[in-house]
Structure 1
Amino acid sequence: MVALLVGLKLTLLRNGLRRSVWRTVGLVLGAVYALGIVVAAVAGLVALRWTSTEVTAQVTVVAYAALTLGWLVLSLLVFGVDETVDPARFALLPVRARALVPGLVVAALVGLPGVATVLVALGLVVTWARTPGLALAALVAAVLGTLTCVLLSRTATSAFAAFLSSRRFRDLAAVLLAVVGAGLAIATNVLSRGLGSDLGVLTTLLQRASTAASWSPFGWAWALPGDVARGAWAQAGVHLVLAAGLVVALGATWTAVLDRRLVEPSTSAGGSGTVGRSGRLERLFPADEAGAVAVRSLRYWRRDARHVATLASFLVAPLVLLVTLGLNPDVSPRLVVLTPCVLAVVVGTSVGQDLSFDGSALWLHVSTGLSGLADRRGRVLAALTVFAPVLLAMHLVVAAVTGGWASLPGALGLSAALALGGMGAGAWAGALWQWPGPVPGESPFQRGSSGGLPALASAMVVLVATGLLGLPSLALVLLGAFWRPWAGWLALPVGLVLGLAALRVGTVQGGRLLDRRWPEALRAVSERAG
């Protein structure tokens, strides 16, 4: 059964790559990125061989406990259940969970995250290979720790499969992921400023963190080599029993959950629900094709977890930058007022990816003869409706908090140039590049949903064009902030004119391009891995 499930996953992966060159390119790029992380981690582990056993134990316990926690959090909030070998797909077959579990564990390690985890876990053996006894303890820890990572994540995702597939959780996950990302960045910044270069404080903090991690379920296995190195045989025995018991308990729990799912497979709640009465939303837009597209897109922005995730992730960078600059007493409030402009930089990428999120439903635009210009204008109108109030509110709040009202006109002009110009670039790039996004009902971060090279090319073009269009306004803002106050006021009309001009050119040219590429666009967004 193990060989069968691993072979099944490899076959599905191979077939998916054959269907799209971009998936192959994306896999190669992901492999290169994962290899870089693994090489850096292993290099750090090798370097630890020249430190004391105490420092090695503290660093490895904290790092590997964080790795185990990462498997759990990312599985719940990002990846979800592995689509290729989802246990629910075996519900109609005469197979028991106890026969599936070993194969599913091994299959979970067949992929970039699994292979990277195995290699990093083997790095623990490298750093502890100072005596045969330490090497053996590290090998046992690596095996138990890797099994804990897989079983913990799979047990959680299987147990909460129905909840994870609900729209409420997908919306919540997007917000939680953004909050966690912002919190980690802010906490890292605060700690680095508070600790500074005080080696004593850093050593004490590392010691306390390692102690806490070693007695948490995430660090039971990884603490074993450090216990052996210190000669703490009683602690080593306790950690070994706890780690082995955790693996057995997780395996038994996962088996019980799978037994239930094999007879009662959970169904996604993503496609259920009713559409409420319309009226107010339609009155916001003109009664034409572009207005209809805008209304439909706005409903997606409110109900589709993929758009909720996009908005939540976009808000992280301005928040982190605002806190970082606000904590620095040497930064002028005239520069802090510009932090909402970071959101304006990435607004255009949402327009660039919007068409790809339609998936096979794009056939409705093609079959009804919708013009490319109406499609581009409608999506831009929806994005403006979402982001314009958010940007304006952020600018007003930051200006009120910092007292930088004098710099507000220039900041608004810069945001206008970046957001409007970026939307124009996104309208053109979205007509040229499309990719199969995660379908409604799936996690917005589902594995294989990154879009590969087309998504990367679209984002890069939009960001570069956005930056170039914002340069004149940025120059005026900086000139007004430090030398000529009147230049900041001039940035507002200049930003509006440049942004609107770029927006018009982008939507018109993107519409013409889309009129010629409707069949290709429909095929691109409809591709799904088998």
Structure 2
Amino acid sequence: MVAIVVRLKLTLLKNSLRRSIWRTVGMIIGGVYGLGLVAAAIFGIVALRLWAPADIAADVLVLAFAMLTGGWLFFSLLVFGVDETVDPAKFALLPVRAGELQPGLLIAGLIGIPGVATTLVALAMIIGYARDPASIIAAVVVVPFGVASCFLLARTATTVFARVLSSRRFRDLAFVLLAVLGAGSAVLGNLSGGLAGASLDQLRAILGDSAEVAGWLPVGWLWSVPAEVGRGGYAVAVIKLLLGLAMIIGLWLVWRHFLAQRLVEPIEGGGEARKVKQGRLVERLYPATPAGGVGFRTLIYWRRDPRYIAGIAGFLILPLALIATQIANPNAGSRPLIAFAPVLLGLFVSVSLAQDLSYDGSAIWLHISSGLSGADDRAGRVYSGLTLLGPLLLAVTVISLAISGQWHLTSQVLALVVGLTLIGFGVGSFVGALWQWPAPPPGSSPFQKGNSGGLPALLSFLVSSGLSIGLGLPLIALVVASFWVGWLAAVALVVGIVGGLVVLRYGIRLGGRRLERRWPEVMAAVSERAG
């Protein structure tokens, strides 16, 4: 069964590369980038072995590999998702159990740039501990279990969160957990960056303490075993090894449980069925036009679809992380940055509109067959985006101003938040009509990659955010100048509102025209599936 699943993964990967230019380009770029990271990591490990004392090298390796394992979890949840080239649901009609599939899915999941890179770097770790036979043996024993723990932790976490997000009862809790996870990681990064001015003795003490803490965390249990052996702490090494093995067994069983459920539920859940109620407040907010109908439909997606909810959590992390890191910074000059934190949310969450059309999948046929104009499609999605994100932006803005106490910056903050949000929606309306790609289907895991491998979504984000910043430069310049010429703050607020509305209007118009000329191509692009 393992050979069959691995061969199936390789075949599907080969076919998807032939069929999708995005997947091919993404694989090449990712391969070059991954190869560079692997080479740098191996060079660093060899340098530690040759020139660093044994205790310092051990602390660095423990901390680095614990962060690597945590990175699998963090980036799987918030950035890259998981590769579902071999979809377990496709085995539902075959006489195979979850336990029989797991070994093959584990190996198949490691066939990819992240898995291969992690395996190579983990094997290089043996060089770092090549100081005595006992440490070498411990490292050799730990490597396969450590690599497996990276994959199992990421896969189990994404599976559990996907199930949580598919349940409306726990959706908000999962949303908050995702945001807290990202903000916490950013706080750690900020605190680490603040160590630049520390002395060598202080850095050595901090490194030792950090490695000690990391070694007793689940992400560091296995990786710290060779270090304990090198210090002569055989009893502690055995305890950590047993803890690490117990974690792997627990993750394996949890994964098996959810995999078994998926094998008997081959049809992706589409959300909870509910009777449509007439006369909702939101329905009365939208005009009785085709654009209003699109707005109401897409607003339901924003509330119920796990893919949208995970996206909101990812964008919300940006301002939360900035606020948290600046609070942790004792420098009093960081308070204005807290006040301007909502600007990030207003800028980047708006460009999500550029990716909205791809999430419709083949359901976009409803717009095409009904003769809906492109402008109505663009405007309706702006309605739903503003309905959901407007109150969120207002809340984050008030909170950030209250925490920072910089109420005198209200005009400047509002100018950037309102202006860049409107500009972002206008840019997103246009960029979203330029190109589309096959996203994970409705009801699927929000952490699953699409057939294109995620590259077009990344490019869409970069183009949309870049255009939004470029068009917002005059507004940004006015806000900066207002710190010296106070009355320019009011001018910036007016320019932000008027200029944002102009960009929004033209973005909807130009994006709508683009869609009307290429509806068939849009339908083909969003309907493509890996097979």
**TM-score, scaled to structure 1:** 0.88
2:315 aligned with 1:314: yes
Amino acid at match of 1:378: G
Kept in 2, the 8 Å contact 1:53–1:226? The answer is no
Please identify, of 359-368 and 488-497, the stretch whose mean Cα deviation from structure 2 is larger. 488-497
| Partners of 1:349 and 1:426 within 8 A in 2 | yes
The residue that corresponds to 1:484 in the other structure is 485
Other-structure match for 1:344? 346
- My pick for the range that moved more, 389-398 or 82-91, is 82-91
Q: What whole-Å deviation, never above 9, does each CA across 1:227-284 have from its counterpart, x for those lacking one? A: 332344444455556656766x459847974895597557644444224414221110
- Residue of structure 2 in register with 1:446 after alignment: 448
87 and 413 in structure 1: CA distance in 2 versus 1, 3 angstrom threshold: closer
The answer (yes or no) to whether the contact 1:6–1:107 under 8 Å persists in 2 is: yes
Q: CA offsets, 1:410-455, max 9 Å, x none?
A: 3222223211122111111111111112222122221346764433
Matches for 1:455-494 after TM superposition, within 5 Å: 455-481=457-483, 483-494=484-495
Distance 1:12 1:170 in 2: 33
Residue 439 of structure 2 corresponds to 437
Alpha-carbon spacing, 1:204–1:520, altered in 2? closer, same or farther (3 Å): same
Please tell me whether the aligned partners of residues 312 and 349 of structure 2 are also in contact (alpha carbons under 8 angstroms).
no
| Structure 1 residues 476 and 97: CA distance shift in structure 2, 3 A | closer
Per the TM alignment, residue 457 of structure 1 is displaced from its structure 2 partner at its CA by 3.6
Which residue of structure 2 aligns with residue 46 of structure 1? Answer: 46
Residues 518/63 of structure 1: CA separation in 2 closer, same or farther (3 Å cut): same
Q: 1:366 aligns with which of 365, 368, 371?
A: 368
Q: Is the alpha carbon distance of 1:213 and 1:334 closer, same or farther for their aligned partners in structure 2, counting shifts above 3 Å?
A: closer
Partner of 1:381: 383
Q: Which amino acid aligns with 2:10?
A: L
Query: Distance in 2 between the 1:196 and 1:110 partners?
Result: 41
Quote how far apart the aligned CAs of 1:216 are: 5.0
Partner of 1:102: 103
Larger CA deviation: 83-92 vs 134-143: 83-92
The alpha-carbon distance between structure 1 residues 300 and 66, as it changes in their structure 2 partners (threshold 3 A), is: same
- Aligned partner of residue 189 in structure 1, secondary structure: helix
TM-score (normalizing by structure 2)? 0.88
* Contact 2:162-2:447 within 8 A present in 1 as well: no
Aligned partners of 1:162 and 1:268 also within 8 Å: no
Cα distance per residue 1:483-530 (max 9 Å; x no partner): 211111111111222111111111111111111011111111111111
What is residue 418 of structure 1 aligned with on the other side?
Answer: 420
Report the counterpart of residue 277 of structure 1 in structure 2: 277
CA contact (8 A) 2:427 2:468 kept: yes
- Whether 2:405 is the aligned partner of 1:407: answer no
Relative to structure 2, which stretch is displaced further, 72-81 or 268-277? 72-81
Give the superposition deviation at 1:125: 1.3
Are 1:136 and 2:137 matched, yes or no?
A: yes
**1:62 offset after TM fit, Å?**
2.8
Q: Match for residue 231 of structure 2?
A: 230
Alpha carbons of structure 1 residues 269 and 193: separation in structure 2 relative to 1, 3 Å: same
Task: Determine the C-alpha separation between the residues in 1 that align with 2:511 and 2:77.
Answer: 37
1:15 corresponds to which residue?
15
Which residue in 1 is equivalent to 2:514? 513
Q: What is the aligned residue count?
A: 528
User: Counterpart of 1:118?
Assistant: 119
**One-letter amino acid of the counterpart of residue 371, structure 1:** S
Taking only the aligned residue pairs, the percentage that are identical comes to 50
Please give the secondary structure, in 2, of the residue aligned with 1:281.
helix
Amino acid at match of 1:43: F
Stretch deviating more after TM superposition (440-449 or 503-512): 440-449
**Do the aligned partners of 2:342 and 2:397 also contact (CA within 8 Å) in 1?**
yes
Letter in 1 for 2:317: V
Deviation larger for 58-67 or 378-387: 58-67
In structure 2, relative to structure 1, the CA distance for the partners of 1:408 and 1:254 (3 Å cut) is closer
Q: Greater shift after overlay, 280-289 or 141-150?
A: 141-150
Displacement of 1:100 after TM fit?
Answer: 3.6
DSSP-derived class of the 2:447 partner: coil
Deviation, 1:456, is 3.5
What CA distance in whole angstroms lies between the structure 2 residues aligned with 1:453 and 1:158? 22
Q: In the alignment, which residue of structure 2 is the partner of 1:187?
A: 188
Residues 132-157 of structure 1 deviation map (CA, whole Å, 9 limit, x = unaligned): 55433322221232234345555677
CA separation of 1:77/1:274 partners in 2, compared to 1, >3 Å: closer, same or farther?
Answer: farther
Q: Which amino acid aligns with 2:296?
A: V
Amino acid at match of 1:277: K
Instruction: Report the CA distance between 1:204 and its aligned residue.
Output: 3.5
* Larger mean Cα displacement after TM superposition, 155-164 or 109-118: 155-164
Q: Is the 8 A contact 2:80 2:447 kept in 1?
A: yes
Which stretch of structure 1 is more off in the superposition, 283-292 or 112-121?
A: 112-121
- The 3 A distance-change label for structure 1 pair 316 and 523 is same
SS of the counterpart of 2:372?
coil
Aligned residues of 2:290 and 2:376 also touching (Cα < 8 A): yes
Contact 2:22–2:452 (CA under 8 A) maintained in structure 1: no
Output aligned runs, 1:225-304, within 5 Å.
Answer: 225-237=226-238, 239=240, 249=249, 253=253, 257=257, 264=264, 268-279=268-279, 280-304=281-305
1:498–1:228 distance in 2 versus 1, CA, 3 Å = same
Q: Which amino acid aligns with 2:365?
A: W
Take 2:521 and 2:185, find their aligned partners in 1: how far apart are those partners? 41
RMSD: 3.3
Q: 1: distance between equivalents of 2:104 and 2:523?
A: 37
| Higher mean C-alpha deviation, range 254-263 or range 488-497 | 254-263
Partner deviation per Cα, 1:313-370 (whole Å, 9 max, x = no partner): 2222122223444545352755543332222221431111111111111000000000
Which range moved further: 484-493 or 129-138? 129-138
Per the alignment, residue 37 of structure 2 pairs with 37
Matches of 2:155 and 2:459 in 1, distance apart? 34
